[in-house]
């Protein structure tokens, strides 16, 4: 991996000759508080195609231009064209997309046996990627309120993309961190969502046993030009302080955390979420996490304004490996309502009821789910004392 360096005139594009890629330094994307977009990001009231007219933020422009160039240069496992997309009939509003190539071409998952499995440098990891796959290093200025020292976050292409702009956020790859969520990684993911002016740029995390295919700490980020059910689904508070909510709506119940922007509120949210994921990891409970712009907790609706950032956490059954023959595998985006479908036949025949059955098959038994809920409520309460 090339060595990151600063540059007064940063270029995020690769030189035309592939022989020069190894020598090119990784550019830095440095951002400050003024670039975190807190207000005014909404879905167009009419056609989603109007998203193309939304002014891109600097983050969007850099990520998309660098990502597009890597696609044109053939650094992905397949060329991602416009994906066939449909909203499944029914009250949930599943967004299904046909992505045959990802089902066939993606890297086989590693042999994972435990949610808290140690990093193995002999297995594939993000220090072994090809030159040119890293787009930039994400760095924030120290002017952000409540800011703490940030890990180096490398933003690199996912060579088997789900959708346009699909990237991985990898904190300090040379440290060899296992796939266990850390505050610096979550903070970077939330701030990446706030750096984008696109309402459909989302970030997520799969634990080991939650369909993470590589045991090297990383988050996913990608664009999807469609609303998802979790953005405005109603919730009820679980603790007196209103810091933890239960998202009860379909497709799956989850724990909802919310922040209206950077500063102490965001830092407190990061701490709460990571205490919850630490508990789940330590007790061998697989989990998935999704970060999206969304409505505040409470009695909301699918069309509610996107006034802040929702972080949704799902505890689920462990699944070590990929189930063959299913229309989709259940991980972070499926729990949020985005279904990448593997075959044309399944894409043409999948119903909302069948999708819900696949998802609910991955959920914990009610008694265990209630026990976890009570424990997380206690954890949050102790944190507030």
Q: Which residues are catalytic?
A: 218
Enter the tokens of residue 298: 């409470």
Residue 233: closest CA among 204, 217, 215, 255: 255
Residue 186: closest CA among 273, 247, 245: 273
Distance CA 299, CA 289 (A): 22
Distance CA 225, CA 201 (A): 8
| Radius of gyration, alpha carbons of the chain | 20
Residue 380: closest CA among 245, 196, 220: 245
User: In the sheet that 219-223 helps form, which strands lie side by side, from edge to edge?
Assistant: 28-31, 134-140, 153-157, 167-171, 219-223, 201-206, 286-294, 308-316, 254-259, 245-247, 235-237
Phi, psi (5° rounding) for residue 358? Answer: -65, -45
DSSP states along 161-219: -SSTT-EEEEESGGG---S---HHHHHHHHHHHHH---TTEEEEEE-TTBT--SSS--E
HSE-CB of 212 using CA atoms within 13 angstroms: 31
Enter the tokens of residue 360: 């609910």
Enter the tokens of residue 75: 């650094």
**Strand-strand pairing, 254-259 and 245-247:** antiparallel
CA 164 to chain centroid, in Å, comes to 14
Number of other CB atoms surrounding residue 116 within 10 Å: 16
């Amino acid at each position: 991996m090339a060595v990151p360096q600063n540059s007064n005139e940063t270029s995020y594009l690769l030189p035309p000759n592939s022989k020069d890629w190894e020598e090119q330094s990784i550019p830095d994307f440095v951002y400050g508080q003024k670039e975190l977009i807190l207000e005014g990001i909404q879905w167009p009231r009419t056609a989603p195609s109007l998203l193309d007219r939304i002014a891109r933020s600097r983050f969007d422009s850099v990520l998309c231009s660098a990502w597009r160039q890597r696609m044109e240069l053939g650094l992905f496992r397949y060329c991602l064209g416009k994906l066939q997309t449909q909203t499944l009939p029914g009250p949930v509003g599943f967004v299904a997309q046909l992505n045959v190539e990802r089902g066939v071409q993606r890297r086989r998952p590693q042999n994972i046996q435990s949610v808290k499995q140690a990093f193995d440098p002999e297995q594939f990891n993000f220090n072994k990627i090809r030159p040119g796959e890293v787009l930039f290093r994400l760095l924030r200025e120290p002017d952000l309120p409540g800011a703490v020292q940030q890990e180096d976050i490398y933003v690199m292409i996912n060579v088997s993309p789900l959708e346009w702009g699909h990237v991985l956020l990898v904190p300090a790859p040379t440290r060899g961190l296992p796939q266990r969520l850390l505050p610096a990684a979550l903070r970077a993911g939330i701030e990446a969502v706030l750096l984008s002016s696109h309402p459909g740029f989302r970030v997520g995390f799969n634990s080991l046993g939650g369909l993470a295919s590589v045991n090297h700490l990383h988050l996913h980020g990608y664009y999807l030009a469609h609303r998802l059910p979790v953005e405005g689904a109603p919730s009820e508070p679980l603790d007196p302080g209103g810091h933890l909510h239960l998202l009860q709506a379909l497709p799956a119940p989850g724990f909802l955390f919310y922040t209206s922007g950077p500063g102490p509120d965001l830092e407190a949210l990061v701490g709460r979420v990571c205490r919850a994921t630490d508990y789940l990891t330590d007790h061998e409970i697989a989990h998935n996490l999704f970060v999206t712009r969304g409505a505040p907790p409470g009695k909301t609706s699918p069309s509610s304004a996107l006034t802040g950032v929702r972080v949704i956490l799902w505890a689920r059954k462990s699944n070590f490996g990929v189930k063959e023959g299913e229309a989709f595998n259940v991980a972070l985006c499926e729990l949020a309502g985005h279904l990448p479908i593997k075959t044309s036949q399944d894409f043409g025949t999948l119903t909302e009821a069948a999708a819900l059955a696949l998802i609910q098959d991955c959920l914990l038994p009610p008694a265990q789910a209630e026990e976890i809920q009570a424990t997380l409520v206690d954890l949050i309460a102790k944190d507030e004392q």
